[in-house]
Amino acid sequence: MAIDDVRAMSAEDLATELYETRRELMNLRFRAATMQLANVNEIGKAKKRVAQILTVMRERELGIAT
């Protein structure tokens, strides 16, 4: 999902998506630790998604419009 899609989400949707993505990241880390994860790139994608969501939330908090 692109950053523009994240910016289009409501605050409630962002909070929900952040929670779900963090849970997914935790599960990916567990699977990687137990050698059950075939594609380790998924971890990086999930981390990027969390960063995008947090960035948009912070932009809104500061009132920065992009």
- Which pLDDT tens digit goes with each residue over 7-57? 999 999 999 999 999 999 999 999 999 999 999 999 999 999 999 999 999
Rounded distance, CA 23 to CA 7, Å?
A: 21
**Domain assignments of the chain as residue spans, ordered by start:** 3-62
Asked if residues 59 and 66 have their Cβ atoms less than 8 Å apart, the reply is yes
pLDDT for the residue 66: 64
User: Does residue 40 sit in helix, strand or coil?
Assistant: coil
Q: Which helix (H) or strand (E) segment is 22 a member of?
A: helix 11-33
Residue 42 DSSP symbol: H
Tokens of 9: 């989400």
Single-letter code of the amino acid located at 47: K
Q: Which CATH class is domain 3-62?
A: mainly alpha
